[in-house]
Amino acid sequence: MSNTIKFDYDTFYKYYTTDSNLEEDEDPPEIYYYPKTTSKKPKQQTLSKKYITINSDRVHITKIIENDKEALLFSIPELKDKDLNRWDNHFHFGKDNSIQIKNPITNIKEYVPAVYFHKTIQHPEKKGKELINCYFYPEMEMNMNIFENMKCLQRGYKMRELYTKKDFIYIKEIISRPFLEHLVNNNNKKKTFLEALTLGKKPSGKGGTKKKTRRYRRKSVRRNRRH
């Protein structure tokens, strides 16, 4: 099975701003966050009711406007202090039609459309936050098997040099989910990225033949007669 998707930011944005694709939390958590990297005092806010579930965690989705551009935050609140406050660590996706990058062939700076993506980590112990950026094209093919090797447009780093293995559990499913709609299970529920990866693979281990199945059924009948 091919694990290559044709990413398109507009499709991605529409998917995550369509209520029917999301779940709803009637009692969303309160979170703390630093508005800017230079902020010294955090703000408090109630997260969006809209969420998806990844890795058994609720990932809350907030639509924001910044610099007259629409963007999305995928928040995974984290307990970080003795007061049991939840801090808003999140993944941030937005689109800009004029991102400056250096052309690797001509070595000249140019402006291109790009998705500005970053991970935000709140650091209450340092009274600030950290942004880990990686920009990529708003329309491109992505092979999710080697997604970690994708290069960031504005720097020479590959994604795997910036983000953790746990980060990729969330990043890969967030990015791929809108483009895996055709993969459904017997209950017509959307498959997660990890489920889609294993679709069509043969189960591991022994057994599985019709002969062994018939033998197992005969044994089951005999056991049932003893009770």
Per-residue pLDDT reduced to its tens digit, 119-170: 999 999 888 999 999 999 999 999 999 999 999 988 779 999 999 999 999 9
Residues linked to residue 91 through DSSP beta bridges, in sequence order: 74, 119
d(CA 7, CA 14): 13
Q: According to the model, what pLDDT value does residue 198 have?
A: 46
Phi, psi (deg, nearest 5) at residue 220:
-60, -40
Segment 17-53, tens digit of pLDDT: 999 999 999 999 999 999 888 888 999 999 999 999 9
